[in-house]
Structure 1
Amino acid sequence: MSSTTASSSQTTGAARLLQRQLKEMRAAKDLPGISVGLINDDNVFEWEVILMINDDCKYYGGAYFRAHLLFPPTYPMLPPKMVFQEPVPFHPNVYPSGELCISILHRPGRDEHGYEHESERWSPVQTPETILLSVISLFGDPNDESPANLDAAKLLRAERETGDREFRRRCRRCVRESLGED
C-alpha cells in the first residue's frame, strides 16, 4: 500500500470516527454546558464548541465561551487543538491568542521538559467529550503551575495568597464580554 493510500484511508477512518463522536455528543443528555457543531458542514475535522461555564467556578456569573476544536487527519493517534474565539477567556491555561494549554492535548509520549507524566498526555482513548469535560473542569480549578498566560497565573496566585481581588475582577470582565454586556 502506498503512503498516499495509507494516509487517505487513515483520514477516512478519522472522519468516520469524528462523525460518530459528533452525533453521539449531540444526542447526549448528560453533557450540560456543552454544545458542539461543525464550523463548515463539509469539514468534520473542524468543530465549533460553545461552553457554558456555570456560576460555581472562578468565572463568577457564568460565561459562554466559543472555541474551535481542530482535529488532525491522524486523529485519534494525535490530539486536536482547541482555540478560544473572541472574547478569549482570561485564564492561566489559555494563551492570549486563544489556544488552550492542557495536558491531555499535548502530544503523546515523554515530556521533554519533565513536567508531565506520559499518562497525563494525549492518548487515543480520549474523545471530544472527555476533552471538553476536562476543559470545563479546568475553569473550576485552573493550573497555575505551568501557565500559558503568566498574568492570569500571577493574579490567581495573589488571590490565593493575599486575597487580592484583581483575578476575580478580570474574570468578571471576561464573563461580561462573553455575555455581550461589555
Structure 2
Amino acid sequence: MTEQSALLLRKQLAELNKNPVEGFSAGLIDDDDIYKWEVVIIGPQDTLFEGGFFKAYLTFPYDYPLRPPKMKFITELWHPNVAKNGDVCISILHEPGEDKFGYEKPEERWLPIHTVETIMISVISMLADPNSDSPANVDAAKEWREDPIGEFKRKVARCVRKSQEMAFD
C-alpha cells in the first residue's frame, strides 16, 4: 500500500505546486519523506486571523487515502477547533465511519476522495467560522461564544502578530 500512497501524495504535491490554491502553500518538511508535509495557511480575509501566517505539519498514514492525515499547527493558534498542543480537530480529519458520540454524520468524516486541497479548504473555512459545539480548546470556545470581540479577539491578534514575526525568521 505504501507505494500507492506515496505516488498519490507525490501527484497531489506536484499538482499544488503547478496550480497553487489561494490561501495556503504546501511542501515537504524533508525532501526524502513524502509522508510529512509542511503547510502555511494565510489568515483568511475579513476574519480575526487575517494577516497571519500559520504553519502546520500534515503527517500522512502509510495507508492514505484510506485513513486521514494528522494535522498539527506549529504556530500558536487560539481557536476552538485547535487543541492547545496544536492538533487540529475537524470532522474531515476524523477516522472514517460512525461517530461513537453521534455528533458527526459518516459523510462529514474522512473519505478517501479527500485531498490535501480539500483538507486545507476545510481548515481555512474553520478559521473563518469556528465550530464551538465540539471544541478541542474549551477555553477558546467559551471566549468565542461569550466575548468574541473582546478576550478572544485579543488572543487571536497576539497569535497573528507572533505568526508574522516567525514567518520571516
Instruction: Give the TM bin, normalised by the shorter chain.
Output: over 0.9
Secondary structure of 1:67's counterpart equals strand
Deviation of residue 55 (structure 1)? 3.2
Deviation string 1:56-86 (CA, Å, 9 cap, x unpaired) is: 1122x4200000000000000000000000x
TM-score norm. by structure 2 comes to 0.95
Q: In the alignment, which residue of structure 1 is the partner of 2:156?
A: 171
Q: Distance in 1 between matches of 2:146 and 2:76?
A: 22
Q: Distance in 1 between matches of 2:98 and 2:48?
A: 31
Q: Is 2:74 the partner of 1:89?
A: no
Q: Distance in 2 between matches of 1:106 and 1:12?
A: 23
Q: In the alignment, which residue of structure 2 is the partner of 1:124?
A: 112
Q: In the alignment, which residue of structure 2 is the partner of 1:24?
A: 15
Q: In the alignment, which residue of structure 1 is the partner of 2:48?
A: 58
Q: Which runs of 5+ in 2 are unaligned?
A: none
Q: Which runs of 5+ in 1 are unaligned?
A: 1-9
Q: Distance in 1 between matches of 2:121 and 2:80?
A: 17
Q: Distance in 2 between matches of 1:145 and 1:26?
A: 35
- Quick one: which of 17, 36, 39 aligns to 1:46? 36
Deviation of residue 54 (structure 1)? 2.9
Q: Distance in 2 between matches of 1:55 and 1:124?
A: 30
TM-score norm. by structure 1 comes to 0.88
Q: Rg: which structure is higher?
A: 1
- Residue identity in the other structure for 2:84: P
Q: Give the number of equivalent residue pairs.
A: 166
Q: Is the 8 A contact 2:44 2:128 kept in 1?
A: no
Q: In the alignment, which residue of structure 1 is the partner of 2:132?
A: 144
Q: In the alignment, which residue of structure 2 is the partner of 1:107?
A: 95
Give the share of equivalent positions with the same residue, in percent.
Answer: 48
